[in-house]
Amino acid sequence: MTKQKKDRRLSRKVLIVCVSLLVVAACSPAAPPREEAAVQEFDWPLSGLRPLDDLLEYKPFHLNEPVLLSGIRPEDDKPINAAAVLGKKTTDRDWVFEDGPAAVWVSGIDGPDAGEPIVLAARLRERNGALSVEASLILKIGQPGRTVLRPGEHVYFDLPGNKSVTCPIELDGGAVAVVHHNEFEYVVLKALEPGTAKLRIFSKWWNAPEKKIMSEHELAVE
């Protein structure tokens, strides 16, 4: 076989391989955005933070529904302001969550460090006449300047939207992903890997042509 024929055969083989790779790439589904790839651990409610005592007062409307609560775990699970702890401790993992004048036993996940302000993604349960909170996630509260996270942790930012004003956001940096964004109420982010990210929160009047920046937050994942 002449060298010319060998070269032509080799060229055809290379062409076939290249075409095959192009077909595979065209048929393969595109990689999902970082926001969609983030694990959805919780069925996020429409409204933002709710006072615990308000939920307890209107218990029939909130039982088994997803809610977001803001409070602390008191030292030694002994409430600071609440007169009593609602519910019962059923396992060694259970811990007390306190929000102002109300406190309740929490089950489902291990408790946070005592005294650290947190947001709790949970559901209010009632079994055999006893109330409890079944938690799905513990979220840090986003700070005005810099918030430090560890990979896997979530952070909550409150948004001051209303019927006429939405709060769009921009997130730069691959260390953090958007898990849930309610333009009227709140945004939840998840730390993915060591690095930094920057969150910008805007306000936009419903008929305004442009949004206005309200705040900027640095997120450091260590």
Domain 52-139 sits in CATH at 2.40.50.200
User: In whole angstroms, what is the distance from residue 156 CA to residue 141 CA?
Assistant: 5
CATH architecture assigned to 142-221: Sandwich (2.60)
Q: What value does the mean pLDDT take over residues 182-211?
A: 96
Question: Please, are residues 153 and 192 in contact by the beta-carbon 8 Å criterion?
Answer: no
Instruction: Give residue 1's pLDDT.
Output: 52
Q: What is the mean pLDDT of the chain?
A: 85
User: In whole angstroms, what is the distance from residue 169 CA to residue 7 CA?
Assistant: 56
Q: pLDDT tens-digit profile of 34-53?
A: 433 334 457 899 999 999 99
Question: Please, are residues 75 and 52 in contact by the beta-carbon 8 Å criterion?
Answer: no
Instruction: Annotate 45-61 with b (16+ C-beta within 10 A) or e (fewer).
Output: beebbbebeebbeeeee
Q: pTM above 0.85? A: no
> Quick check: 133 pLDDT over 50?
yes
> Quick check: 90 pLDDT over 70?
yes
User: In whole angstroms, what is the distance from residue 151 CA to residue 193 CA?
Assistant: 5
What residue segments make up the domains of the chain, in order of their start? Answer: 52-139, 142-221
Helix, strand, coil percentages, rounded to 5, for the chain: 20, 40, 40
Instruction: Give residue 3's pLDDT.
Output: 47
Q: What value does the mean pLDDT take over residues 21-30?
A: 42
Q: Which contiguous run of DSSP H or E holds residue 198?
A: strand 195-205
